[in-house]
Amino acid sequence: MKFNPLTPEETRIIEHKGTEAPFTGEYDTFFEAGTYTCRRCGAELYRSEDKFSSGCGWPSFDDEIPGAVKRIPDEDGMRTEIQCANCSAHLGHVFNGERLTEKNTRHCVNSLSMRFVPRS
């Protein structure tokens, strides 16, 4: 599988399961219409219609494109990591039961794990 080139910071997050500092990512308060894709492989992950403002400091989505994201128990034993189903790039974590939206799910995603493709 061919991957897009990554900066050292993107590599730290995507390949080594790092985290951006809160409120610093380019997509945290970004709400244009379009699709968010995996920065490493380009697979479609999220639609802008599923993005919401959670106030947590990272982009938040309450749903993913079907089949785009896989969930893996985190090494800390408490959280659930989310990865690109196509290339296993680290995206962030998913949380359930917070009652922030009707779907009661929050995908907390690093901006550097994604690219935004505007709707044409």
Q: Is 56 noted as a catalytic residue in this protein?
A: no
**Model confidence, pTM:** 0.95
Helices (H), the chain: 8-14
The structural domains of the chain, ordered by start, are 8-118 (2.170.150.20)
Q: What is the pLDDT of residues 9-50, one digit of tens each?
A: 999 999 999 999 999 999 999 999 999 999 999 999 999 999
Structure tokens that stand for 71 in this block? 């969930």
Nearest-angstrom CA–CA distance, 33 and 49: 7
Of these residues, 38, 56, 84, 108, which one is catalytic?
A: 108
CB atoms within 10 A of CB 66: 7
75-97 pLDDT, tens digit each:
888 899 999 999 999 999 999 99
